[in-house]
Amino acid sequence: MTRFVYSPRYAVDIGGHVFPTAKFRLTAEAVAERGKLVEPSEPARSDLLLAHDAAWVDKVLSCRMTLEDETLMELPFTPEVSLAHRLQAAGTVLACRWAMQDGVGLHIGGGSHHAFRDHGEGFCVLNDIALAMLQMRREGRVRRAAVIDLDVHQGNGTASILAGDADFFTFSMHQQDIYPEVKQRSSLDVELAAGTGDAEYLARLAAALPRVFAHRPDLVIYQAGVDVWERDLLGGLKLSERGILARDSLVREECRRHGVPAAVTLGGGYGQDVRDTARLHARTLLAFSEGQRQIS
């Protein structure tokens, strides 16, 4: 049976916010008949310290945020929000463990690539991607790892946290003229103009992926944001639904061809109707579920 990491506590009431936390529940409902939903355990403080400063971790755990902290995160911070993001950080770690065991790990959450070592940004509190890569190395499961970040926004926090560590390769392909205004330097950045559609997008991706696998990663974390969709409210790229599926298939097949396990995180998605966003996320997860060795 296919396994998906998910907790109903990911969906938190944050009012009329542009970030649709209901997408987690709706995505889980869309894939539930295809597999088993497994809830992650809350991470230890020592785990969070792999990717974050002690002062920031303690703010997250105590929920004592300043107005500046909340402004940067663009989120109202509550104990429920704190727990949701801590669980999602642990969820990506669990998905990576499954990937190393089964070839694929699927997380109905995660992808908080804007969180920095000492603060959160852009709806992101804890950088589950950087944390999971560091945790996998600490556990001795990998020596090298890579992130393929195809969210419409640059993975600035991930690039910053992992900068200078030769074991990790950070690849971000994103729209150049939107948030974050100040980009960080990834191992490889591919910047796209607003209006980029399927054909150019897929060609640029196909040309970039060999650089990722030249790093010889033992694990890939795929940040599979669907805010590249042509009808997304926060992005300006013009990928069709078919284009997004072709993007996912390209990443999946390259991982398979190189024999590299893949852990998939949701990343961003801001359709006018949250049900559209959830449907796109579910399609990505199900596309990768075909490569997961089945667990009885």
User: What does 218-271 look like in DSSP terms, one character per residue?
Assistant: S-EEEE---TTBTTBSS---BB-HHHHHHHHHHHHHHHHHHT--EEEE-----B
114 labelled catalytic: yes
How does pLDDT run across 94-135, given as a tens digit for each residue? Answer: 999 999 999 999 999 999 999 999 999 999 999 999 999 999
Give domain 2-289's CATH superfamily. Answer: Histone deacetylase domain (3.40.800.20)
User: Which of 114, 119, 174, 281 is the catalytic position?
Assistant: 114
Helix axes 54-62, 79-102, angle to 10 degrees: 120
In the DSSP assignment, the letter for residue 27 is H
Q: Cα separation of 135 and 73, whole Å?
A: 24
174: amino acid identity, one letter:
H
Which amino acid appears at position 129 of this protein?
Answer: I
Place of tokens 């009329």: 16
pLDDT tens, position by position, 253-288: 999 999 999 999 999 999 999 999 999 999 999 999
Two structure tokens written together for 47: 């785990």
Check: CB of residue 172 under 8 Å from CB of residue 248: no
Q: Are 93 and 112 in contact (CB under 8 A)?
A: no
Q: Which residues contact 118 (CB under 8 A, 6 or more apart)?
A: 52, 53, 55, 56
Q: How many CA atoms are closer than 13 Å to the CA of 217, on its beta-carbon side?
A: 29
Residue 275 CA to residue 273 CA, distance in Å, equals 5
Where in the chain are the domains?
2-289
**189, 205 in Cβ contact below 8 A?**
no
Asked if residue 258 lies in contact with residue 250, where contact means CB atoms within 8 angstroms, the answer is no
How far is 192 from 199, CA to CA, in rounded Å? Answer: 12
Read off the tokens for 62.
């105590």
Mean pLDDT computed over every residue of the chain: 96
pTM to 2 decimals? 0.96
Q: pLDDT tens across 210-225, in order?
A: 999 999 999 999 999 9
The number of beta carbons lying within 10 Å of the beta carbon of residue 176 is 14
